[in-house]
Structure 1
Amino acid sequence: MKVLIVDDDAVDRRVVRRTLGASGDSYHEVQEASSVAEGLELLDGNQFDVILLDCRMPDVDGIEMVTDMHAKPDMGNTAVVMISASDDTNLALRCIEAGAQDFIPKNEITLAKLERAILHANKRFEIEQRMHMSYLEVKKMAEMDPLTGLSNRYHFEEMLKVMIANNKRDGSNVALLALDLDNFKHVNDTMGHEAGDSVLKQSVKRIRSCLRNNEGFARLGGDEFAIILGNITHVEDASSVCNRVLNSFKLPFNIQGKEVICGVSIGVALCPVDSSDSQALLRCADIAMYRAKQNGKNGISFYEPHYQTEFNQRFIIHNALNNVLKNDSFRLFYQPIFCAKNGKLLGFEALIRWPEAEVFYTPDVFIPVAEQSKLIDGIGQWVIETAMNQLALWHQQFDANLTMSINISPVQLQNERLLSECQRALDANNVSASKIILEITETALIKDNSMVTHSLRVLSKYGFKIALDDFGMGFSSVAHLMDYPIDIVKLDKSMQATTQVSDKRLRVFEALALMLKTLDFIVVAEGVETESQMSLCQKFELDRLQGYLLGMPMDATKTDVFLAQQYQI
């Protein structure tokens, strides 16, 4: 056994060496040091099984040496037995607390006690080492994401705190990137979690290739990732990394032999520009990332202060939506639709409204929040059930030929339960699918989505009429008219023409009407507000009219009165 004796007293060193040499059963290779500095120098170039270390020495004492050894990983692999001229219990405890494995007063040194202390010290040291390794393994597991091997949220937040503190001292900036994979849920839902895991691991590989080794990279949960960029001098430094990451996602993923397209949305927050607090900086980056998604996904958005106001507003509306949906307190208004040729009432469009309350939100404000939070599925189901129930009552009381137009969100079209929900509402109210018009906007058709295409085709085959709403606003792609089972086209109110011959809208309006009629679509003019507009719609032989001139949206009670007047009941 290799033993190092560190003691400033030469007599004491000889006593210990002689005692160890008295053993006939074991051999000890002994070296000596007369000071802590000499002992550390010997440790630097040699490996010892045990150190017999005097507690009290001039300049630097033995306890300080133990502390120094444990502070240096390459010097902390040796068991330590402290020896002292004092048998003070408190001193012995201080030695053990510093990291020694045993303590022997010098006046009690015998061969038996010395060998027993060495044996025990080695065994305790082995146990301590195993415990330390176990601790490191548990610590690693606690800080690491098991799927990707990246840091997890807890470890990342600790790294971010340290990075911000270091950069404060250096006077440099930190950029925090929040990343979220686009359309990842669709991959999970359609191909399974194994495919989703493969996308995550391949995404990590691509992102890592865009980073330096010293940049913090973590998976915060699900398909959310984060990156810390230190020593940022210009915003362009962060932009450059973001663009490299975006470019790395241009190629499709190969999952189970199929090509899968999955982009990434990136939000960027800067420290100290946006915040010097780690949690606040994370929130800023998250908010910027959501803004990137709102802007069409697969892009970059830098945090701006007014995003916080918008985010807070969305949060308030989201909570309010939950309460309104839970209390079943939305309202439906109904706007009449007439035949352009004879003025006959054909049906109604169901329009959702916020409950009467002190704080009131319009559909263009709360519907986007409902779509982002997936609450639109529950709201949409309530609209379908309420509108069909109301239509059934009007069929019984007034006219069985009345139709009901119901707006369907692009998010609802991606819900495979939509058809069954519509079927259930039809059966519960004994209403024919042919009397229900499902209105969609072109935003649902902009991206090639197999689920949307499937839903529309199945709904059309089942007998529902499909109307393309707001045509003439935005993309207005003629290809959409050909590629999807559309029966009705509703011209957006912004297309309404004036009587001036020079007005371009007049010519565009006429051309659109002629094209759609030639293609055998039923054409509805929205936003009819003046007699001249109605005359032009009739002149261009549009089929149906809807607007404030003909009828305002009304609640069910007022609509009952309106119907009674129409049918002279």
Structure 2
Amino acid sequence: MKFSIRFKLLTIGIISVVCSALSVFIVSLQEHKSIYAESVKTNLQALTINTADDLLLQLSVDSDPFLLRSTLLRFERYEHLKYAILYSKNWDKAEVYIQPKLFSQVAQNLLAIPEVDPKKLQQGVSIEGSNIYALQPIDETGNIGGYLLVAHEYLQPLDNSQKDLIRLTSPLLILILLITTAAMLLTIRQQLVPLMNLSKFTRNITRTKEYGNRFQVRGDDEIYTLGQDINSMLEVIDSEIKLNAEQTQQLTEQREALYHLANYDQLTNLPNRRHVLYWLTNIMDQARKNDQLIGVLYFDVDHFKSVNDRMGHDVGDKLLIEVGRIVASFLKHEQVVARLAGDEFLVVLPKLQDKMEAVAIARKLTSGFSVPISIDRWSIQTGISVGVADSEDSGYRVDDLLNYADIAMYHSKHFAKGTVTRFHPQMLVESHRHTLIVNSIVNAARNNEFQLYYQPKISAAGEVCGLEALIRWENDTLGSLSPCEFIPIAETSGKISEITRWVMDKVLKDLPEIIRSSNTDIVVSFNISSVDMSSDWFEPYLLQMIEDYPDFLRHLQFEITESNYLNDYKSANKFFKLVQEAGGSVALDDFGTGFSSLSYLGRIDIDTIKVDREFIVNFLNDRRDRAVLKAILDLTNSLGLNSCCEGIENVEQAKYLIANGCGLMQGFYFSTATPIEQISDAIELAKQRYRELELFS
């Protein structure tokens, strides 16, 4: 059978247009399928990672089943998410979430899910059968606490999406086919060239996938309409692809933002604890294999709490940012500074040449804080206390490395703030003793392992007007402990309140015997920590004591050191006012040892200034010490305050102090500190030693 050229051309034209349109459509379907699958994978992976991070926080706190189920219920708003299973680290099912519309199907047999063995799935996102699975370990620094498996329908949503695309574009395809047939029948010769150009254009779109191109048409005939329709179809396809691309870009940006949020400190923009420990673990493995040395510097900001209390948290935050910037400016490539928590930072130093290189870098860092830091209207003089440890010290164990550096930092803070201390194995012994002391304080208070000794204070007229209560501690394991050792440990560990409460209770218990032994309006003094004054328990306790012992408070004097006052002067001033309104008195202890202005003396309500023993020891042999001591006594008298000098060990010291206006004296010359049973003898001894001064002979 022979066909006419018109028929052939018409047939060829129709076939060409149909094939081209179908090719574009099929490619579009494939592209749509690929974009859809990638979008679902990306969304599912981001959702699973975020949920796993939330579950990690809950598992690390208390593993409350209610909180775990509440976290899994966030999947309820995702229509095509079939179920989510929380496994323990041993692959036991801990919690299961099932999409409500599927619950009736699996309620009779919960063991039927998941449809695949989770242990055989790769971590991340994978397609198995008609589902997409996301398997995410719940871990921190390699310590797996469980697994989260999430199943998402794949084929059915994809099929629905493709049907929607077909439903949207099919009318256009049919319209194009009809218009093309009519045009060829009417004006085959006139339209042949434009039609072939159109066919060529569509084939080019199929090949290049440049859906943003448009077919240039002229006139107002069917070829023009056909070209417009093809352009409309391309516009629909192009807009769909662009929309998917925008959504993919948004997901990428969100994933990057979530990564930054999870791995970087939001205040300083430095790596956070999680990120730096993950990185440190990886480079530690490489360093062990390559026999390389890694060092870490563990440091915190000196007097940071004082900055927060006195200048506000906004200034404190800006100080942390500036500290991070200063430290980073001293570091080389691959050397990283991270913020761990609060005012604690960690510097990682890979590929060290020797152990002392880390110490040298640490000293450079401390020297960077020799100049005050200007923040807003404040000029802040601060520093950093640094602990140094290296991978050889820890046997290439990350946890031990950080622990050793932390222990070394504690030594820097305890013995000389603003300095560098390198870890030494002996510090482990000291750290163990430190831990024993912390853990023993509560039992020591409950079991009365503490003892109070009282040292007399004698006036310039020879009367014993006061006693200072000094604490002692005898422990079966730790032996005899000096207050200089366990009091700072109690303050830093939050256990000082146990000691303060015990001391106050014991003083109140001993006070009747003290009054009987002295036959005077004697005043018993004892130390109060700034931690006590700012704690929630102290003020109610003091008010209750005033109510229970209204006549005793005039016999009590609360001593606070100059440094403690300056650390928290707001709480101190409030405390001073409360004590004095109730009839008690306040003494400023260790006066002269701080590095503050004397201007605050005229603004605080205290009764007594206690001159530190450092000014007493050498004043007879040192002209400058003698001048400073006399100036302090003159200043105290000018302000109308009582003065008390401690550490008096000989006659010459006592005579000089009396001659220069010292109000009260205490020291070994008059009497050592004695238990309550010997207080009468101590008072008589102090009076006898005063008479031996022969001031009026």
State the TM-score bracket (shorter-chain normalisation): 0.5 to 0.7
Equivalents in 1 of 2:532, 2:379: separation in Å? 25
Equivalents in 2 of 1:233, 1:511: separation in Å? 54
Aligned with residue 469 of structure 2, among 350, 365, 370: 350
Does residue 526 of structure 1 match 2:646?
A: yes
- CA drift of 1:438 comes to 1.7
Aligned with residue 329 of structure 1, among 449, 470, 476: 449
Q: What runs of 5+ residues in structure 1 fail to find an aligned partner?
A: 1-26, 30-46, 51-92, 100-121
Aligned position for 1:371: 491
The 3 A distance-change label for structure 1 pair 537 and 132 is: closer
Q: Percent of aligned pairs with the same residue?
A: 25
- Would you tell me which structure has more helix in proportion to its own residues? 2
Query: Any residues of structure 2 matched to 1:281-292 within 5 Å, and which?
Result: 281-292=401-412
The 3 A distance-change label for structure 1 pair 159 and 531 is: same
* Preserved CA contact (<8 Å) 2:438 2:489: yes
1:444 is matched by which residue type in structure 2?
N
TM-score by length of 2: 0.53
- CA drift of 1:338 comes to 1.9
Does residue 557 of structure 1 match 2:557?
A: no
Equivalents in 2 of 1:48, 1:260: separation in Å? 56
TM-score by length of 1: 0.63
Does residue 388 of structure 1 match 2:496?
A: no
Query: Any residues of structure 2 matched to 1:293-442 within 5 Å, and which?
Result: 293-294=413-414, 300-341=420-461, 343-355=462-474, 357=476, 359-395=479-515, 399=519, 401-415=521-535, 417-442=537-562
Equivalents in 1 of 2:466, 2:647: separation in Å? 16
Equivalents in 2 of 1:355, 1:154: separation in Å? 42
2:465 is matched by which residue type in structure 1?
L
- CA drift of 1:424 comes to 2.5
Deviates more, 1:499-508 or 1:383-392: 499-508
Equivalents in 2 of 1:437, 1:394: separation in Å? 14
The 3 A distance-change label for structure 1 pair 401 and 156 is: same
* Preserved CA contact (<8 Å) 1:493 1:527: yes
1:228 is matched by which residue type in structure 2?
V
Equivalents in 2 of 1:360, 1:524: separation in Å? 28
The 3 A distance-change label for structure 1 pair 145 and 261 is: farther
Give per-residue Cα distances to partners, 1:309-330, cap 9 Å, x unaligned.
4333322322232331242431
Equivalents in 1 of 2:374, 2:624: separation in Å? 43
* Preserved CA contact (<8 Å) 2:358 2:388: no
* Preserved CA contact (<8 Å) 2:336 2:348: yes
Equivalents in 2 of 1:346, 1:414: separation in Å? 30
The alignment partner of 2:670 has SS state of coil
Aligned with residue 173 of structure 1, among 293, 314, 318: 293
The alignment partner of 1:318 has SS state of helix
The alignment partner of 1:439 has SS state of strand
1:355 is matched by which residue type in structure 2?
E
Give per-residue Cα distances to partners, 1:308-367, cap 9 Å, x unaligned.
4433332232223233124243111111222221x2221211111113647111111211
The alignment partner of 1:370 has SS state of helix
The 3 A distance-change label for structure 1 pair 344 and 410 is: same
Aligned position for 2:637: 517
Equivalents in 2 of 1:553, 1:340: separation in Å? 20
Query: Any residues of structure 2 matched to 1:43-122 within 5 Å, and which?
Result: none
Equivalents in 2 of 1:507, 1:193: separation in Å? 41
Aligned position for 1:464: 584
Equivalents in 2 of 1:475, 1:196: separation in Å? 21
Give per-residue Cα distances to partners, 1:255-281, cap 9 Å, x unaligned.
xx9999997654332233665332221
The alignment partner of 2:474 has SS state of coil
* Preserved CA contact (<8 Å) 1:269 1:284: yes
The 3 A distance-change label for structure 1 pair 400 and 506 is: closer
Query: Any residues of structure 2 matched to 1:21-32 within 5 Å, and which?
Result: none
1:291 is matched by which residue type in structure 2?
H
* Preserved CA contact (<8 Å) 2:515 2:522: yes
Equivalents in 1 of 2:686, 2:417: separation in Å? 48
The alignment partner of 2:480 has SS state of coil
* Preserved CA contact (<8 Å) 1:388 1:425: no
Give per-residue Cα distances to partners, 1:157-212, cap 9 Å, x unaligned.
45333312212344432122334455666788999999999998998788778777
Does residue 127 of structure 1 match 2:246?
A: no
Equivalents in 1 of 2:359, 2:473: separation in Å? 42
The alignment partner of 1:354 has SS state of strand
* Preserved CA contact (<8 Å) 2:393 2:401: no
* Preserved CA contact (<8 Å) 1:173 1:233: yes
- CA drift of 1:465 comes to 2.0
The 3 A distance-change label for structure 1 pair 230 and 432 is: same
The alignment partner of 1:272 has SS state of helix
Give per-residue Cα distances to partners, 1:102-155, cap 9 Å, x unaligned.
xxxxxxxxxxxxxxxxxxxx9626734645797799xx99x9469749877566
RMSD of aligned residue pairs (Cα, Å): 5.2
Equivalents in 2 of 1:510, 1:202: separation in Å? 42
* Preserved CA contact (<8 Å) 1:348 1:403: yes
1:346 is matched by which residue type in structure 2?
C
* Preserved CA contact (<8 Å) 1:440 1:469: yes
Aligned with residue 607 of structure 2, among 476, 480, 487: 487
The 3 A distance-change label for structure 1 pair 316 and 456 is: same
